[in-house]
Chains A and B, each alone.
Chain A
Amino acid sequence: MEKRLLLPILTTPLTVLNKDAMLINKEQDVVPFRNRVKEYAVKIGMGLVNQTKLITAASELVRNMLRYGNGGETIIEVISKGRENGIRLTFSDKGPGIPNIEQAMKDGFSTGKSLGLGLPGTKRLVNEFDIKSKVGEGTTVMIIKWKNG
């Protein structure tokens, strides 16, 4: 898994099989979004443990988006690479952005009053994790969970 993370994510040949977008702008949107993610995960036959990991990761990121970025847009994609199927989730907000990503990725760091496990924890839950942020412009997080990853 560590090796895969070092590969540049965008150059790997991926096929997008299905694409779905959803706007998140209030706390009530979290549960429907999670259910949507679950629907897709079930559809590609993901196991219960990976499903739960993906949903938890999605939940973390959506909450981050609501809390720090004032809501944003999410994209759910069913992707395939070679023989493997997976789910790719993209979260983009137009919030204040993260000044120091390295610090934000550390366990226990939080500018809010949370546990500070959202970003680093999410990274451990999924197979691929990519974060881009520009101060004043917003943050985009992309995660991939493979069916058997």
Chain B
Amino acid sequence: MFLRKKKQIIDLWMKNQMADAALREDLMSNEDIRAQSEELLDALLRKLTDEGLKDIDTIDFGEVFEILGGISITRARQGFSSRETGLYIYSLKDTLMSILQQELKDDPIQLYEVSMKIGRLIDTFGIVTFETFIKGREEVILRQTDEITEISTPVIRIWDGILALPIIGTLDSARTQTVMENLLGEIVNTGSSIAILDISGVPAVDSLVAQHLIKTVSATRLMGAECIISGIRPEIAQTIVHLGIDLSNIITKSTLENALKHAFSILELEVRKKGFVNKNI
């Protein structure tokens, strides 16, 4: 029944979409939308024969779902809102309904039955669309997370032989890995002998974060460099003590400034004001 009307359906569907205020011509040309819609409709109508309509629950719509998923993901990436993508699918419902109305206007009982089935079918399509749409968006978020991990762990050479590594945010396993790789690589590249890990930007130090810190320090020591942890705030210090974490093997300082002073003293460097003569020498 629908197959015969395919041309009519696609025209009407396009018209419905054009009439919709949510049409985004800036994101997608009309030809593209038409091609996309036709592909979807083709797959759908191949399954939705007259016999199929009678027994709609048993049809395998796998292919249709696949095409639908593809459309949904491309739309998510192109920046369509979920509302626009949803309306796209639901406008198909209106179209099919009006075709049905023309076809079955003499048989209200069958019209009702078929409409219910089509309605339920399109609702399922809607749900599939939303699920894939969200998945598409989540991929974007995951990619951004990766980018944030990349950019938020810079290793700075603050003095000849001294590296500083300000850590901002939470240290989880993945980030510790990045931090450690960057730090160890930079120790080799610059030939530094002291690394300062500044944790002023870490909101909470729990046993996992502490364990990661200890691992980083051990790895730095294996490379022959000394590691100083700075930026330990009073509340963090209390928490660490209560938790029972033993950081006594590690040099810790409250501020980056103190850590730098300590680093200078290890390297036997002295910073003094111009003209100042140390009388002790």
Q: Which residues on A are within 8 Å of B, measured CB to CB? A: 27-28, 30-31, 34, 48-49, 51-53, 55-56, 59-60, 63, 107, 114-115, 117-118, 120-122, 124-125
Complex Cα distance, B145 from A48, in Å, reads 28
B234 touches A49 (CB 8 A): yes
- A49 contacts which of B205, B211, B235, B244 (Cβ < 8 Å)? B235
Of all chain A residues, the one with the shortest Cβ separation from B240 is A56
Do A53 and B207 touch across chains, with their CB atoms under 8 A apart?
A: no
Looking at chain A's contact residues, the main secondary structure is helix
Q: Which residues of chain B have C-beta atoms less than 8 A from A53's C-beta?
A: 235, 238-239, 242
**Which residues of B lie under 8 Å from residue A56 when comparing CB positions?**
204-206, 239, 243
Give min CB distance, A44 to chain B, whole Å.
17
List the A side residues contacting B207 at CB < 8 Å.
60, 114-115, 117-118, 121
Verify A52–B239 contact, CB threshold 8 A: yes
A32 to chain B, nearest CB (A): 11
The 8 A CB mask of B65-91 against A (1 = contact, 0 = none) is 000000000000000000000000000
- B231 CB to closest chain A CB, in angstroms? 14
Point out the residues of chain A lying under 8 angstroms from B243, CB to CB.
Answer: 56, 60, 117, 121-122, 124-125
**Given A49-B238, A122-B243, 7 extra CB contacts under 8 A:** A31-B169, A34-B203, A52-B238, A56-B243, A114-B211, A115-B245, A124-B244
Distance (whole angstroms) from the CB of A139 to the closest CB of chain B: 17
Q: Total number of A-B contacts with CB less than 8 angstroms?
A: 67
Chain A residues, CB < 8 A from B204: 34, 52, 55-56, 59
B218 within 8 A of A: no
Q: Which of B172, B236, B239 sits near A125, CB closer than 8 Å?
A: B239
Which residues of B sit under 8 angstroms from A52, Cβ to Cβ?
204, 235-236, 238-239
Question: Is B111 part of the binding interface, using a Cβ–Cβ cutoff of 8 Å?
Answer: no
Least CB distance from A96 to B in Å reads: 20
Which residue from A51, A55, A121 sits with its C-beta under 8 Å from B244? A121
Specify which chain B residues have a CB less than 8 angstroms from the CB of A118 in the assembled complex.
206-207
In the complex, which of the residues A30, A48, A49, A120 contacts B170, with contact meaning CB atoms closer than 8 Å? A30
**Cα distance A19–B238 in the bound complex, in angstroms:** 29
Smallest Cβ-Cβ distance to B170: which chain A residue? A31
